[in-house]
């Protein structure tokens, strides 16, 4: 068994062929750091036509996924004691980086991909959590499932060549990452900040911390805890450095 297993219940298993071309994630599969098990919902459909959906009670547009095939697929999965089941739905809580960190302590995630106009309400009973990528609607849960597999896998030990690259990433500390530069030092009259080329690591560290704060205040104040944010806004709202990027 792999160190961390993803079990995905989906009507479109071919959508996950994309993972074979995602670099770090593909290497994690090759190194047996993760396992990806796809459970084709159609195989659990009812009757000779393998029916997985039906018209909603009470009328309305579109089709709704039936509960029986999803329950059958779910019950066929071997579950670890350290497992969580995620239902991917626009009605779910919006996915955050801290969710990946929290789930990385598990060894199995079961992902149920919604489809069509949704699923029978009784499917919700299977889920530990309901997750959405944002306040919009996609055609199905496959893209959110791939997103979760990607975001979680890269946090697992042995996946990245340099684990220190995770430390100051955006959203890890409620702040966005500082600006990054590489060669050439001057490109189309845009110059790398002098502090990054002077070799003073203490100054570089201080500059990066300041830039993270500036960038988050300018682009995503909502990421900072409200009481901390209010304090800093009151102190710095008139200061040019806060907004000068």
Q: Mean of the pLDDT values across residues 19-47?
A: 92
pLDDT at 238: 47
Query: Does the structure show a pLDDT above 80 at 224?
Result: no
d(CA 64, CA 116): 6
Other Cβ atoms within 10 Å of 58 Cβ, number: 5
Express as a percent the part of the chain with pLDDT over 90. 67
Query: Does the structure show a pLDDT above 70 at 243?
Result: no
Peptide bond into 184 cis (omega under 30): yes
Can you read off the two tokens belonging to residue 237?
């709202």
User: Residue 229's pLDDT band (boundaries 50, 70, 90)?
Assistant: low
The strand pair at 83-94 and 108-113 is best described as: parallel
Instruction: Considering only residues 43 and 61, tell me which one the structure prediction assigns the higher pLDDT.
Output: 43
d(CA 62, CA 114): 13
pLDDT by residue (tens digit) across 109-165?
A: 999 999 867 899 999 999 999 999 999 999 999 999 999 999 999 999 888 755 555
d(CA 85, CA 127): 5
pLDDT by residue (tens digit) across 150-204?
A: 999 999 988 875 555 544 454 455 788 889 999 999 999 999 999 999 999 999 9
In the chain, the DSSP E strands lie at 4-10, 34-40, 53-54, 64-65, 83-94, 108-113, 129-132, 186-187, 190-191
d(CA 216, CA 208): 12
Q: What's the Rg (C-alpha) of the chain? A: 22
DSSP category for residue 18: G
Q: What DSSP string runs through 56-85? A: PTT--SS-EE-HHHHHHHHHTS---TTEEE
Q: Which residues, 6+ apart, have CB-to-CB distance to 84 below 8 Å?
A: 103, 106, 108, 109, 110, 128, 129
Query: Does the structure show a pLDDT above 70 at 47?
Result: yes
User: Residue 245's pLDDT band (boundaries 50, 70, 90)?
Assistant: very low
User: Residue 1's pLDDT band (boundaries 50, 70, 90)?
Assistant: very low
d(CA 57, CA 180): 54
Query: Does the structure show a pLDDT above 80 at 237?
Result: no
pLDDT by residue (tens digit) across 211-221?
A: 988 998 898 88
pLDDT at 171: 47
Mind listing the domains of the chain with CATH numbers? 4-153 (3.40.1280.10), 168-243 (1.10.1270.20)
- Name which of 97, 119, 99 is nearest 109 in CA terms: 99
Other Cβ atoms within 10 Å of 95 Cβ, number: 19
Report the chain's mean pLDDT, rounded to a whole number: 87
Q: Mean of the pLDDT values across residues 1-29?
A: 90
């Amino acid at each position: 068994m792999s160190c961390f297993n993803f079990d995905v219940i989906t009507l479109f298993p071919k959508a996950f062929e994309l993972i074979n071309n995602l670099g770090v994630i593909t290497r994690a599969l090759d190194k047996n750091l993760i396992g990806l098990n796809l459970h084709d919902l159609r195989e659990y459909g009812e009757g000779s036509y393998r029916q997985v959906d039906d018209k909603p009670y009470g009328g309305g547009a579109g089709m709704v996924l039936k509960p029986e095939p999803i329950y059958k697929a779910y019950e066929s999965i071997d579950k670890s004691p350290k497992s969580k089941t995620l239902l991917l739905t626009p009605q779910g809580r919006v996915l955050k980086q801290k969710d990946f960190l929290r789930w990385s302590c598990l060894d199995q995630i079961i992902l149920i991909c919604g489809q069509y106009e949704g699923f029978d309400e009784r499917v919700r009973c299977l889920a530990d959590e309901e997750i959405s990528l944002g306040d919009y609607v996609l055609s199905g849960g496959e893209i959110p499932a791939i997103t979760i597999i990607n975001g979680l896998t890269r946090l697992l030990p042995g996946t990245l060549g340099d684990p220190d690259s995770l430390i100051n990433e955006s959203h890890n500390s409620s702040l966005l990452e500082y600006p990054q530069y590489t060669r050439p030092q001057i490109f189309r009259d845009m110059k790398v900040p002098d502090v990054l080329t002077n070799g003073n690591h203490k100054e570089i560290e201080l500059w990066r911390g300041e830039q993270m704060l500036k960038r988050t205040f300018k682009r995503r104040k909502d990421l900072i805890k409200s009481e901390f944010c209010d304090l800093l806004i009151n102190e710095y709202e008139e200061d040019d450095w806060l907004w000068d990027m």
